[in-house]
Amino acid sequence: MTAQRLYAVPKPEFVESPASWLFRVASSQAVSMWQMGRFLGFRMSRDCDEQILTLEPGHLARVSGQTGNEFEDVSRMLKLALTLRMELPVLLHENGLPRYRFCVECLVRMRTPYLPIFWRMDVYRLCTIHQCLLEDHCPHCGGMICPQSRMGPSGVARPDVSMLSQCLACTGFLWDVAPIKIKAVNRRRLSKGDRTRLFNGGAFVSALFHGKVELPGEDSSNVQSALERAARLNMFASDLDLTAKSIRDDGSGQFKKQA
């Protein structure tokens, strides 16, 4: 760690969150995420994802060997997300640090497990690819997915976690749980309006990525005002009962565990 240039640094995956990438870089260099973050210029007591907007890209490129524009899409999405005036926070946090949900089927299929930035968006609760609800907690210990946190359940760091498909607290595999397919949920449990709000989470993420809105009755000329208006009209999922844990706990469907 005394050298001024790192080698064999993995490139960020598609719209990978900075905190996710930092974890993978640290694993590739056999150091802690906090050591790596400080080396790259992050203030690790603060939200690493948000810091990507102010971190000097030239420095990050020189030290990590990247081109400097790897987080261009993520920065654009975060910049817009952080300007939104919505009743609930746009980004998930735990003690001021990034928190994520995850799609069970995405993690199973990823060659390189990572955390996309949109898994941190509160209104994005349904995977638009696999039509299953995103999970909030580790299925083994109930821990939250907070890669920037240094502590496990015993109050010490867990250096034996090598992949982001593992729980950072107990090391169990996050995908080891039955995914909740939306079509398997009782329609009395999820109304047509609820399902629409869940699907609109994908439109929210698309608006952040493309800079235009694809929601019924919303003018795409001003993305910020359109998304804020859609939120006021209750077009996005925000209730605590519209989560995987809530639906699993009340037994509103039959879900098969991953083979």
Handedness of CA 210, 12, 22, 36 (dihedral sign): negative
pTM of the model: 0.91
Helix 223-232, helix 72-83: angle, nearest 10? 50
Count other Cβ atoms within 10 Å, centred on residue 141: 13
Cα(38)–Cα(214) distance, integer angstroms:
39
Cα(202)–Cα(222) distance, integer angstroms:
18
Q: Kindly report, residue by residue over 184-215, the tens digit of the pLDDT.
A: 999 999 999 999 999 999 999 999 999 988 77
Name residue, tokens 């999820």. 190
Q: Kindly report, residue by residue over 98-156, the tens digit of the pLDDT.
A: 999 999 999 999 999 999 999 999 999 999 999 999 999 999 999 999 999 865 444 44
